[in-house]
Structure 1
Amino acid sequence: MGLCAIIADDHPMCREAARVALSLVAPDADVIQAGSLGEVLSETRSVDLVILDLGLPDSRGIASLIDVARDRPSTPILIVSGTDRPDAEARAAANGAAGFVSKAAPIDTLVSAIRTVADGGTHFTPGLEPAAPDGTEKRLSTLTPAEARVLRAMRNGDLNKQIAYELGLSEITIKQHVKAILRKLDVVNRTQAILMLHDVHP
């Protein structure tokens, strides 16, 4: 069986560019395309590589990387990012990425990064010092996958009853998750928890 990869980007043209680059490394690769973080996290198939944009609409920035790394701890994640934030690469390295490529880089760089990461290596700027995860990133990484899903739903302003319906859980379970989220993030209310997600956007 050949390599299986998820390409996650909300721009079809960017997904196609990544697919072309991947095909130069693994012509027979099985490609799963996703336009949102929700699609990535709902995918049940085992994959060998995730190519992840940090600008997904439903969880932007390092928060999306934290979620995917939590969901697939043994799968290498290659970040392909259009952010101009200077510390984005260092923060990605500190939060579970196996590589980082700017969308401004030539396709040869992306091909090289895919080949290296798929083979179990890392691809970062030579001499890069990973940034130490800040307090917000550390606390977000302690959430379970279920708690992370509830937190993302909270960001939409939904009530517990609405979140329970959306996630197929009981309202009591949602209340327990919310309580755990507030405790782990060391905040006193839902608004503060939601603001922490905004804090980790690159």
Structure 2
Amino acid sequence: MTHNSRTVLIEANRLFREGLKHLLAGTRFEVGSEYNTIDLALSAEVTDAAPELVISGQPVKDEADLRAIREAFPSARVVVLADDLTVDVLRAAMGGGADGFLIKNVSPEALIQSLQLIMLGEKVFPTNLASMLLDMNAISPQQSIRGLSPREQEILQALVTGASNKMIAIKLGITEATVKVHLKTLLRKIDVNNRTQAAIWAMNNGFTADGAPTPTRNLYAVSA
């Protein structure tokens, strides 16, 4: 099978797959290539224009799954559609660099809006993600933020919400170039490689969209 569309859908449940195709028909996200598994999608021959979007409803076992998708479709945004929100799946999605993580019971309107934001370069995750922690054994916030300047903490807090450099600059009243400088220093201080890993680190250490830091809380499955 070959890719004949700029959107690729990976979903084993035929009924859900057909429903999603119907929902996206007539939009810029119309599905033209579909696969039952990630392995089938990765082994398919690409002969047409490179896909812009990959939507995977298949369970993501670990970060390697998403990295493999990114390698196969390097120019595409990658969105995970999960049955529910669990620690392992969310960790794999964020660690693997997913551009979006949505629950399958999301409303049609919210799905389309989320895909539009993702194609604009925004990161889209469940609205209550910022209040969740991926590691129940995280060190205390008082220890973890030691060495971070107030500005770096503000930027770290913004990363939890998925804000872009431009959005952070507007919110803090500084230039994008200044944000990049702070971000580079911040990544070095907390010993991570990118903004997604920084967001995970922040949540592990009590940062939320409302303030930083807060007491550690457990992660529970929720609906998007």
Which residue of structure 2 lines up, in the alignment, with residue 50 of structure 1? 54
Residue 107 (structure 2) pairs with residue 95 (structure 1): no
Asked if the contact 1:6/1:32 (under 8 Å) is kept, the reply is yes
- Aligned residues with identical type, % of pairs: 17
Which residue of structure 2 lines up, in the alignment, with residue 136 of structure 1? none
Which residue of structure 2 lines up, in the alignment, with residue 5 of structure 1? 7
Asked if the contact 1:101/1:109 (under 8 Å) is kept, the reply is no
Which residue of structure 2 lines up, in the alignment, with residue 37 of structure 1? 38
- Structure 1 pair 24–77 and aligned structure 2 pair: CA distance change class (3 A): same
Q: Cα distance, 1:114 vs. partner? A: 1.9
Unaligned runs of 5+ in 1: 133-202
Instruction: Report which of the two structures shows the higher radius of gyration computed on alpha carbons.
Output: 2
Q: What are the within-5 Å matches in structure 2 for residues 182-201 of structure 1?
A: none
Q: What are the within-5 Å matches in structure 2 for residues 99-138 of structure 1?
A: 99-126=100-127, 128=130
The aligned amino acid for 1:8 is I
The aligned amino acid for 2:7 is A
Q: Aligned equivalents of 1:54 and 1:104: distance in 2?
A: 15
Q: SS at 1:121's partner residue?
A: coil
Q: Cα distance, 1:125 vs. partner? A: 2.8
- Structure 1 pair 66–25 and aligned structure 2 pair: CA distance change class (3 A): same
Q: SS at 1:125's partner residue?
A: coil
The aligned amino acid for 2:51 is V
The aligned amino acid for 1:14 is F
RMSD between superposed Cα atoms in Å:
3.0
Q: Aligned equivalents of 2:133 and 2:44: distance in 1?
A: 29
For these two proteins, the number of residue pairs brought into alignment is 127
Unaligned runs of 5+ in 2: 136-224
Q: Cα distance, 1:34 vs. partner? A: 0.6
Superposition TM-score, scaled by structure 1 size: 0.52
Q: Looking at secondary structure, tell me which structure has more helix per residue.
A: 1
